[in-house]
Amino acid sequence: MRVLLGVTGGIAAYKVALVARALAEDGHDVRVVPTAASLNFVGRATWEALTGNPATSDTFADVPSVQHVRLGQRADAILVAPATADFLAQFAHGEARDLLGNALLVATCPIVVAPAMHTEMWRNPATQANVVTLRERGVTVLEPAVGRLTGADSGPGRLPDPEKVVAALYAAVDGAADGVTVGAVDDGGGWGDLGGLTVLVTAGGTREPIDPVRYLGNRSSGHQGFALAEAARERGAAVELIAANVSLPSSEGVARTDVETTADLADAVARLAPTADVVIMAAAVADFRPRTATTHKLKKSDDGITLDLEKTEDILAGLVATRPQGQTVVGFAAETGDASASAAEHASAKARRKRADLLVFNEVGVDRGFGNRPNDVRLLNPAGEDVGHAAGSKLAVAHAILDAVVALRRGGAVTPAK
Ligand code: CTP
């Protein structure tokens, strides 16, 4: 199961490292959300090393993936240990001052809180009233253990032993949902909404050789495709990226294959698409290639030259026609208007022709749509109807496209965030 482990600012945080390790060893996908104060006791590196997941505290980290909402939604169980008196007060009042507070307000899963503080603080009527409030709302608040506290004093206020804290969490989960197997990861999904899925993204633009030094190419920079790969990775997917002539670095954790021509791209797609859950064809693929590329450099001629071009294979059309059941296919269309139709009309006709689940359309021009600039796209369904709009940085647009993919896969309406 996905366990969100909140760590607040008390000395007992060091004992919670053993809790994190025990949960990870039991096969759970643990995500630690430390408060800023707790980092005085145990650093982020410890949590990340023990769990293999990022340990973020800040509500404004990773804003495009709406982490402050997603963490609470995705958690199967939440444990807060140690829980300070201040944390209990904040939680009882429903405050969302940091990432942990936000996650708790969103969560509907079982929540266990393990207080640890000095005896006087624990016995303080304000703290006791907060404990009563939380218990009335269904939160499991553990009784602190009795014994030696920091300094010379002793009494109730110690964090229970790590194994007792883990056992209390399992008991709360078992009690909340009969039959939950607490020893295993539930659905194989990670913390993101693409957890457990494989996403294949093509990016960049193919080049077709004319001779050893020249090629037919296009102006695609690969930025939008790379942003899609990065966003899908952030949302928990295993990501395969096929990069056609892109000099950008790809994000950590993304498996990259570099290609040059349309034929190379088609081969890589044929190899990787059958096992992908989502295929996003963001690459600008050449429609024609020289029938034969000469092995010598073409010489200038006063008469000009004529290139004999043949059509390339339509990779997207092939994908849609042969895709395995359950695969979601997304195409792109960069269009300009002309005498026969507007850019939007061309895009709508293309959506009907290509039959991809989504066609991402943007209107391009000499200064529009290319490079690392904000993007502005419309999403079209296979009937060519406009089902959404996304604008902003290429990463923000990538997340909006993935929102639409997630909505489609859940069988819902496509209503992108922006
Ligand atoms: N595409 C593809 N194989 C091709 C050409 C395009 O898979 N040989 C994909 C692109 O990756 C993109 C979508 O099809 O996702 C639309 O590309 P585009 O070049 O706009 O479409 P074309 O069918 O080539 O139409 P046009 O006549 O407008 O060039």
Tell me how far the alpha carbon of residue 413 lies from the centroid of ligand 1, in angstroms: 26
Tell me how far the alpha carbon of residue 314 lies from the centroid of ligand 1, in angstroms: 7
DSSP line for 86-147: HHHHHHHTT--SSHHHHHHHH--S-EEEEE---HHHHHSHHHHHHHHHHHHTT-EEPPPEEE
Tell me how far the alpha carbon of residue 388 lies from the centroid of ligand 1, in angstroms: 21
pLDDT at 258 (0 to 100): 98
Tell me how far the alpha carbon of residue 212 lies from the centroid of ligand 1, in angstroms: 26
Q: Which of 167, 170, 189, 190 is nearest to 181 (CA)?
A: 170
Distance in angstroms (rounded) separating the CA atoms of residues 357 and 397: 17
Distance in angstroms (rounded) separating the CA atoms of residues 267 and 312: 13
The reply to whether ligand 1 has any atom less than 6 angstroms from the CB of 225 is: no
Distance in angstroms (rounded) separating the CA atoms of residues 118 and 54: 31
Pairing of strands 278-281, 214-216: unpaired
Tell me how far the alpha carbon of residue 404 lies from the centroid of ligand 1, in angstroms: 21
Is omega for the bond preceding 82 within 30 degrees of 0, making it cis?
yes
The reply to whether ligand 1 has any atom less than 6 angstroms from the CB of 333 is: yes
The reply to whether ligand 1 has any atom less than 6 angstroms from the CB of 330 is: no
Task: Return the half-sphere exposure (C-beta side, CA atoms, 13 A cut-off) of residue 351.
Answer: 24
The reply to whether ligand 1 has any atom less than 6 angstroms from the CB of 331 is: yes
Residue-averaged pLDDT of the chain: 90
Q: Which residues of the chain have pLDDT under 50?
A: 178-188, 416-418
Tell me how far the alpha carbon of residue 282 lies from the centroid of ligand 1, in angstroms: 9
Nearest CA to ligand 1 atom 21: 333
* Ligand 1 atom nearest to CA at 316: 7
The reply to whether ligand 1 has any atom less than 6 angstroms from the CB of 314 is: yes
Phi, psi (deg, nearest 5) at residue 346: -60, -45
The reply to whether ligand 1 has any atom less than 6 angstroms from the CB of 281 is: yes
The Cα-based distances of 109 to 3, 5, 77, 187 in angstroms read 10, 13, 5, 15
The reply to whether ligand 1 has any atom less than 6 angstroms from the CB of 241 is: no
Is 218 annotated in the active site? Answer: yes
Six-digit token string for 337: 């208007």
Q: Which of 142, 139, 129 is nearest to 89 (CA)?
A: 129
Angle of helix 125-136 relative to helix 85-92, nearest 10 degrees, comes to: 50
**Contacts of residue 267, Cβ cutoff 8 Å, sequence gap at least 6:** 259
The reply to whether ligand 1 has any atom less than 6 angstroms from the CB of 170 is: no
The reply to whether ligand 1 has any atom less than 6 angstroms from the CB of 361 is: no
Pick from 267, 285, 289 the residue to mutate for probing ligand 1's pocket: most ligand atoms within 8 Å of its CB. 285
* Ligand 1 atom nearest to CA at 346: 28
Nearest CA to ligand 1 atom 24: 287
The reply to whether ligand 1 has any atom less than 6 angstroms from the CB of 316 is: yes
**Contacts of residue 303, Cβ cutoff 8 Å, sequence gap at least 6:** none
Nearest CA to ligand 1 atom 18: 333
Nearest CA to ligand 1 atom 9: 316
Domains of the chain and CATH, by start? 2-176 (3.40.50.1950), 198-409 (3.40.50.10300)
Look up the pTM and report it: 0.71
Distance in angstroms (rounded) separating the CA atoms of residues 160 and 107: 24
CB 72 within 8 A of CB 44: no
Residue of 53, 124, 218, 372 with catalytic role = 218
